[in-house]
């Protein structure tokens, strides 16, 4: 599958409304960034994925990487989701679906499960998709971060 933002592309400087306040993607320049899109909070696969990213979060941080999960859910829903499962990183609401459209992951009015691993220079280094198990995204993203 081909996404609008692909390996080698500079990430567009979009603003995200997160559970930790508003951020711009350019705020992460100088750091590695894992931007993972997920379909819907509180569903089985998305819950497993969030839990696995949370389990591995300290390893991401030790490698100089930040993690942000993105879905079309509201910020309130994402706050409840993050609190229930102890997320250690912000979740971003793409209620207007603009970020999902820009990255090319919008499918049937929700985001597809796709993970973008971005280097400190703001360039996409790896796109992870089509995995059988949702939680594999965290493990693959960690391996990708280690190679940057």
46 catalytic residue (yes or no): yes
Q: Tell me the C-alpha distance between 146 and 148, whole Å.
A: 6
Asked if 39 contacts 112 with a C-beta cutoff of 8 angstroms, the reply is: yes
Residue from 5, 11, 33, 46 carrying the catalytic annotation:
46
For residues 106 and 101, give the distance between their C-alpha atoms in angstroms, rounded to a whole number.
Answer: 5
C-alpha dihedral (7, 34, 140, 19), degrees to nearest 10: -140
Just list the catalytic residues. Answer: 46
């Amino acid at each position: 599958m081909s996404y609008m933002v692909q390996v080698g592309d500079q990430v567009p400087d979009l603003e995200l409304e997160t559970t930790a306040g508003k951020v711009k993607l350019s705020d992460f320049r100088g750091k590695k960034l894992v931007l993972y899109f997920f379909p819907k909070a509180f569903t089985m696969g998305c819950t497993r994925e969030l839990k696995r990213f949370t389990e591995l979060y300290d390893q991401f941080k030790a490698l100089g990487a930040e993690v942000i999960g993105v879905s079309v859910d509201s910020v309130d829903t994402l706050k409840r989701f993050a609190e229930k499962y102890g997320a250690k990183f912000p979740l971003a609401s793409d209620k207007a679906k603009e970020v999902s459209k820009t990255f090319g992951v919008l499918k049937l009015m929700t985001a597809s499960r796709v993970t973008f691993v971005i280097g400190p220079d703001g360039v996409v280094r790896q796109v992870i998709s089509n995995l059988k198990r949702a939680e594999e995204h965290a493990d693959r993203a960690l391996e990708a971060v280690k190679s940057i």
